[in-house]
A and B are shown apart, each in its own frame.
Chain A
Amino acid sequence: MPIEKAYIILSIALFLIGLLGVIIRKNLITVLVSTEIMLNGVNLSLVAVDSWLGKVDGQVFSLFVITVAAAEVAVGLGLVVAIFRLKGYEGSSELTHLRD
């Protein structure tokens, strides 16, 4: 088995750990941290396949993923702070306006 397959399995595990964090965490900020873990898992698999193929296209995509992650953090944390200041919510179980 080539070592890149082990890297891909590790990246799948990292993505699923991030998904578990999105499902089970109560605090909205730690939910955002878990999405960052998911994006890092995707980056790891892109770079691993890139190293097997001997090209650089996957690393370019990984660069774009890092860019989108930075934009997502800026807008997401702004949303969390705005929700907290306007409504006083800090837990994901309190955001039930669309359900009610």
Chain B
Amino acid sequence: MEWIILGVLGFWLVASALGAVFVRNPVHSILFFLSSVIAISALFLSLGAELLAGLQLIIYAVAIVVFYVLVITTIPWEKVKRFEGIYKKELLFSLPVLSVSLLIMGYMVYRGELAQPVNLVKDNVRDLGKTLFTSYLFPFEVASVILLVAMIGAILLGRKED
């Protein structure tokens, strides 16, 4: 049963990611990305990470995708027409290299050993919150500083030059 869920969701995920990479129109590419975000959220749910599935939907599918679409609407559309689509020559060279590296890494993962399981988490959200606010308290505060600096940087980049 787990394998059926993984097969369906994995096919959906890979198909929508390939669509996001290869489709011509930027808005269609972002809609394919939204589809892949929903598939990843479903994969998180099937892995037992409920909090991350919800956060993935809230942050990616709402905040980031809407932000991309808003930024695309600010750019004049007819000037962008020259730069739709993909570079053909780069595709010809990079596709074999990436396929071979996928085969090599997949073989290494298939033959390798995973570490032994330590313990079983019963309540995902409670354990995640406890770990986040005890062991990882300092990186949590640093993440807030990163968000603040990114906000100031975006405001600085977005203002008009005098």
Give chain A's interface residues, CB within 8 Å of chain B. 1-10, 12-14, 16-21, 23-27, 29-30, 32-34, 36-37, 40, 43-44, 47-57, 59-60, 62-64, 66-75, 77-82, 84, 86, 88, 90-93
Q: How large is the interface on B (under 10, 10 to 19, 20 to 34, 35 or more residues)?
A: 35 or more
Instruction: List residues of chain A with CB within 8 A of the CB of B21.
Output: 17-18, 20-21, 24-25, 34, 37
Please measure, in the bound complex, the distance between the C-alpha atom of A92 and the C-alpha atom of B80, giving whole angstroms: 12
Q: Can you list 12 A-B pairs with a CB-CB distance of less than 8 A?
A: A13-B106, A14-B14, A21-B21, A49-B114, A50-B47, A54-B118, A60-B132, A66-B56, A70-B64, A73-B64, A74-B153, A77-B154
Q: Which residue of A lies closest to B142 (CB)?
A: A64
Instruction: List residues of chain B with CB within 8 A of the CB of A74.
Output: 67, 150-151, 153-154
Instruction: List residues of chain A with CB within 8 A of the CB of B153.
Output: 74-75, 78
Instruction: List residues of chain A with CB within 8 A of the CB of B60.
Output: 36, 40, 66, 69
Q: Contact: A60 with B128, CB < 8 Å?
A: yes
Interface residue from B14, B75, B114 paired with A90 (Cβ < 8 Å): B75
| A25-B21, A30-B26, A91-B83 known; A36-B67 Cβ under 8 A | no
Q: Contact: A6 with B6, CB < 8 Å?
A: yes
Interface residue from A25, A53, A68 paired with B118 (Cβ < 8 Å): A53
Q: Contact: A48 with B82, CB < 8 Å?
A: no
